[in-house]
């Protein structure tokens, strides 16, 4: 992974009493803490703690030593490191073992695993979306906490080695060494190929075709939109499948079990196109009830990965309606 140009940064907002406001930094701090922690819920908690610490220490802030942004990231980084002490990493099913070869296997959730969560970036003011991708965040979770911090601060947020050394209370040499080790550890673990942005016309066209095929329960059409080695995973179910053949056979199973006539609504997650899937007849009023969020990776005109989240607690963070019916059942455009 190559270092990115340094973000333009935010204009510090100053109140009438001369004090700097911290709230404008909430979105980018939440994205940073999510990359560190793998959980949007945990990230929001840590950011709230960061802003509270900053407010309490505001009279001790020295603009001659660091910008407000650098100072806030120092507080947030240390809060994340404290939060990670003694915690297990947050994986996706594909990070735990080989793919399943049985598309009829029981879909028993592994509730003891702290799974990686999706990030509803539309709720936040986030400038850098590429390194929110699920595969990349999952790869970063394998790193020790301090290496994780160095990689994100240097390669995503483009802080200098000296700034990161100050944020972590260490030396520039130690930062450079940790960065080299972190880059080596994650190389090849995430998706290395270019991934299309949700607003890219080609990506939008692929997603529209996928939605039409899904709503029509047309499995052959779905399979034609998949890369040959496409991955399907469904945390908290630890099973996952690789290959368009198994993907298609599993979708046939879904339509047999839950019926046809699903409805889909588009959104985004982790800088990727995402689909809210509504199962027929499962809503509290008998309409289509929210079933899951499918986060798609699209590259070279094909779907290469679909990570399906069905935890209601995670879906709530995307502000999706729990049921759609009647006039809401219109084709996705």
Question: In terms of CATH, what superfamily is 23-87+143-186?
Answer: PhyR, sigma-like (SL) domain (1.20.140.160)
Per-residue pLDDT, 3: 46
Q: Which residue has the higher pLDDT, 186 or 77?
A: 77
Per-residue pLDDT, 12: 47
Residue 330, pLDDT above cutoff 60: no
Residue 11, pLDDT above cutoff 50: no
Question: Could you give the CA distance from residue 332 to residue 256 in angstroms, rounded to a whole number?
Answer: 23
Per-residue pLDDT, 278: 97
- Cβ atoms 234, 107 nearer than 8 A: yes
User: What digits encode the pLDDT tens for the residues 280-289?
Assistant: 988 888 899 9
Residue 45 φ then ψ, to 5°:
-65, -45
Per-residue pLDDT, 64: 85
Count of beta carbons in the 10 Å neighbourhood of residue 103 = 18
Domain locations in the chain as residue ranges:
23-87+143-186, 201-328
Share of the chain above pLDDT 70, in %: 88
User: What digits encode the pLDDT tens for the residues 94-113?
Assistant: 999 999 999 999 999 999 99
Question: Could you give the CA distance from residue 176 to residue 73 in angstroms, rounded to a whole number?
Answer: 18
- How far from 7 is each of 69, 148, 184, 210, CA to CA, in Å? 11, 19, 24, 34
Question: Could you give the CA distance from residue 19 to residue 114 in angstroms, rounded to a whole number?
Answer: 39
pLDDT band per the 50, 70, 90 thresholds, residue 325: confident
CATH classification code of 201-328 = 3.10.450.50
User: What digits encode the pLDDT tens for the residues 60-75?
Assistant: 888 888 899 999 999 9
Q: Which residue has the higher pLDDT, 73 or 5?
A: 73
The distance in angstroms from the start CA to the end CA of the chain is: 35
User: What digits encode the pLDDT tens for the residues 116-151?
Assistant: 999 998 888 776 666 899 999 999 999 999 999 999
Per-residue pLDDT, 284: 85
Angle, in degrees to the nearest 10, between helices 40-56 and 68-84: 130
Contacts of 221 (CB under 8 A, 6+ apart): 209, 212, 213
Per-residue pLDDT, 332: 46
> Rounded mean pLDDT of the chain?
89
User: What digits encode the pLDDT tens for the residues 19-49?
Assistant: 678 999 999 999 999 999 999 999 999 999 9
Nearest to 79 by CA among 115, 106, 38, 43: 43
Question: pTM to 2 decimals?
Answer: 0.90
DSSP string, 10-34: -PPPB-TTSPBP-GGGHHHHHHHHH
Per-residue pLDDT, 326: 59
């Amino acid at each position: 992974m190559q270092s990115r140009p340094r973000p333009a940064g935010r204009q510090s907002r100053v109140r009438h009493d001369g004090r700097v406001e911290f709230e404008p930094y909430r979105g980018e701090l939440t994205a940073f803490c999510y990359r560190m922690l793998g959980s949007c819920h945990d990230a929001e908690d840590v950011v709230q703690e960061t802003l509270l610490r900053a407010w309490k220490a505001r009279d001790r802030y020295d603009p001659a030593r660091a910008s407000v942004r650098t100072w806030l990231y120092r507080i947030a980084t240390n809060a994340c490191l404290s939060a990670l002490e003694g915690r297990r990493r947050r994986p996706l099913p594909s990070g735990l073992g080989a793919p399943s070869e049985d598309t009829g296997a029981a879909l028993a959730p592994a509730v003891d695993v702290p799974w990686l969560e999706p990030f509803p970036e539309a709720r936040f003011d986030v400038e850098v979306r590429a390194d929110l991708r699920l595969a990349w965040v999952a790869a970063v979770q394998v790193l020790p906490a301090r290496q994780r911090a160095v990689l994100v601060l240097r390669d995503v947020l483009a802080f200098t080695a000296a700034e990161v050394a100050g944020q972590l209370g260490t030396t520039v040499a130690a930062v450079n060494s940790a960065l080299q080790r972190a880059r080596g550890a994650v190389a090849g673990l995430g998706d290395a190929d270019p991934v299309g942005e949700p607003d890219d016309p080609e990506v939008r066209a692929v997603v529209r075709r996928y939605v039409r095929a899904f709503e029509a329960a047309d499995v052959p059409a779905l399979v034609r939109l998949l890369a040959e080695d496409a991955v399907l995973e469904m945390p908290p179910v630890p099973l996952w499948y690789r290959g368009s053949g198994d993907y298609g056979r599993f979708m046939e199973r879904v339509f047999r079990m839950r019926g046809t006539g699903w409805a889909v609504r588009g959104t985004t997650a982790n800088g990727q196109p995402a689909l809210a899937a509504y199962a027929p007849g499962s809503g509290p009023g008998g309409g289509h009830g929210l079933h899951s969020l499918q986060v798609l990776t699209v590259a070279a005109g094909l779907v290469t990965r679909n990570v399906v989240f069905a935890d209601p607690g995670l879906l709530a963070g995307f502000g999706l309606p729990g049921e759609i019916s009647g006039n809401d059942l219109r084709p996705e455009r």
